[in-house]
Amino acid sequence: MSDLVIVESPAKANTIKKYLGRGYKVAASMGHVRDLPKSRMGVDIEHGFAPKYIPIRGKADLINSLKKEAKASTHVYLATDPDREGEAISWHLANLLKIDVDKSLRVTFNEITKNAVKEGIKHPRTIDVNLVDAQQARRILDRIVGYELSPFLWRKIRPGLSAGRVQSVCVRLIVDREQEIAAFTAEEYWTIDAQLLAKGTKKPFAARFYGNAGGKIEIKTKEQADAILSALSGAAFTVSGVKKSVRRRSPAPPFTTSTLQQEASKRLNFQSKRTMQIAQQLYEGVELKGMGAVGLITYMRTDSLRIADEAQKDALSFIKDTYGGEFMPEAPRVYKSRQGAQDAHEAIRPSMPALSPEKIKESLTSDQFRLYKLIWERFTASQMANQLLDTVAADISAGDYLFKATGSTVKFAGFAVLYEEALESAQGSKAEKADNDLNRPLPELQQGDALVSKVTEASQHFTQPPARYTEASLIKSLEENGIGRPSTYAPTITTILQRNYVEREGRQLKPTALGEVTTKLMKEHFADVVDVEFTANMEGDLDRIEAGEKNWVSTLGEFYEVFEKTLKAAEEELGDVHLKVPDEQTDIICELCGRNMVIKTGRYGKFLACPGYPECKNTKPIAKETGGLCPVCGGKVLQKRSKNGKTYFGCENHPKCGFMTWDEPLSEPCPQCGSTLFKKRGGVLHCLKEGCGWVKAKE
């Protein structure tokens, strides 16, 4: 008889099987095997919040197969992921397979490498009941909020709506930001910049007006700016002071779940869901040429910055061999995790630091390579020496006024030779361009040097409203406010987008009318549910349950006592009131009755509808211009949605012109005939102009 190891996914099973070899059978549970029923609450609130778990629909054959395998095995090891969800899955498996939960059968791996897997199997432990209780508490808490609050929203706003403990707070953050933007009043301000030429140089450098001997002067109006420019007319510019220094820049720490999602959003334009899917693949194992299945990164759900000593030594050895001893830090780096972070797992790092991205590129998909490269470079750079910058700050006198110029040059690249943290994309303005000019290297300057003024000009600016959230900045805010856990960020954002509380506008997240109406109702009647501090405190309670410091049943009882009263009061206060979600009016005229059509949201997304319903029942899909031209008649190619929600492309002259395609039109023209090119889903480019036939295979 052999031993049975149960993991969550087939990919992970394949990788572990390779390391364990003969004598072991590795099976996959395909995620959770039991859960609360979908059709009812499934929680006995009156009897200690007892959950009524049932096997997940469609998994009967899998469960029977696992039971059969377990019965035929000498030992059963439960090797699901090393977090709350993984612990709960192991607990459910033990119950379904009738295995004693007090036995040492739980195995965890922070990384799926040969040593880690073999060590894990050698040292099994009992199931951590505190972890299971924390997961149960979260699941039941979310079920209570969802199943009792959602029907309330159906009655008061619209059928089919849902509420969630974390998702409602997430929507509130986005709605509150939109209200801040709407309430923002721009204030005028001016800057004065001089382009100056030092003796013996031909390239001018920039200096910005600062003030006078009395201190900094804020320029608020054009009249004030013009008066200063007038006073500067003909003034001699002289260097009145120079300060030189060396600035040290430290590398960013290795990734946590939150920072990985943020950086992948900014640098790779990955949505958080996509980032986590690819990271899961890298963790569970990828088939590498000449090596077989290899787990490439450590566990990707973590908020710790801790690094194993062995991994750090491997990284330092790689740095020394590749870049030289000067790129090693004076002492091995230790990063401090944020307060409240869980330290069960390491930071996200490559499982084998010497395995550089280029060595395995041909074995990875494009997305896997890009994310692995990001993780590998961030980790390796985090163990490298500081960057050194020679900085110069010059004071420049002009009449009674003072200008300042700053510049820097790289003295030693350090970690920046490999990786620098990405910034949120700026909105772009003259002020930002001028700021960039101010940080360019300065010529050699000495106190008393006379400078030649090439141009001195004033620029008008206005203060900018706070920016809308992007996925990156929203995840950062969720983490800073203690809302949710690393594993919840991606699914929460996916949920609020799918349920039409929020929509994307480019990379920004914008609340819909539905999101605004729902949040207003929640703030007025369920203040605790959408309160950031309350939600963070509840997250802290779940952490205390996990640590064995708090009882999960009493925690749920404390929450439900207040929640039930709040729900009852809201029902009484609102009575028969029904809140209307305002429609977004367009300038598209209904061809049947002449009214301006409005945008509505249905099962498959947004569509145009006549507001005259039921007298006029005209509806049509929302068409978006693609920039492409129809290869049949030359009309505009529009992006449309089919009745089942699939995207396709068709001619604006439909139905006169019947052209439609599933292939995406591109901006580049066909090199053979000049018509619009189209891209197939497999990446092949081709021209659809009759008689052309140009095709380019995917590179």
Which among 689, 692, 688 is positioned nearest to 679, based on CA atoms?
688
Contact present, 347 and 256 (Cβ < 8 Å): yes
Separation of alpha carbons 427 and 424, rounded Å: 9
**Spatial separation of the C-alpha atoms in residues 507 and 503, rounded to whole Å:** 10
φ, ψ of residue 125 to 5 degrees: the values are -135, 175
Q: Of 419, 344, 429, which Cα lies nearest the Cα of 387?
A: 419
Task: Choose the catalytic residue: 299, 401, 419, 469.
Answer: 299
Tell me the torsion sign for CA atoms 225, 230, 234, 239.
negative
- Buried-exposed string 455-489: b where 16+ CB fall within 10 A, e elsewhere: ebebbebeeeeeebbbbbbbbbbbbeebbbbbbbb
Buried b (16+ CB within 10 A) or exposed e, 661-672: bebbbeeeebee
Distances (CA, A) of 406 to 235, 362, 435, 449, 644: 21, 45, 10, 16, 58
Q: Do 137 and 475 meet the contact criterion of CB atoms below 8 Å apart?
A: no
Q: How far is CA 396 from CA 209, 211, 246, 253, 406, in A?
A: 9, 11, 21, 38, 11
Residue 153 DSSP SS3: helix
299 noted as active-site residue? yes
How is residue 571 written in tokens?
A: 């029902």
Q: Which helix or strand (DSSP H or E) is residue 62 part of?
A: helix 60-71
Q: CA-CA distance, 83 to 542, in Å (whole number)?
A: 13
Which helix (H) or strand (E) segment holds residue 55: the answer is: strand 54-55
- Please, are residues 27 and 5 in contact by the beta-carbon 8 Å criterion? yes
Give bridge partners of residue 462 from the DSSP assignment: 188
Residue type, 376: W
The alpha carbon of residue 351 and the mean position of all alpha carbons in its chain are separated, in whole angstroms, by: 23
Q: What's the CA angle centered on 58, arms 55 and 64, to 5 degrees? A: 65
H-helix or E-strand spanning residue 371: helix 366-382
Residue 171's Cβ-count burial label (10 Å; 0-12, 13-18, 19+) is: buried
- Pick from 585, 566, 564: nearest CA to 574: 566
**What is the token pair recorded at 53?**
């778990």
**Looking at the annotation, which residues are catalytic?**
299
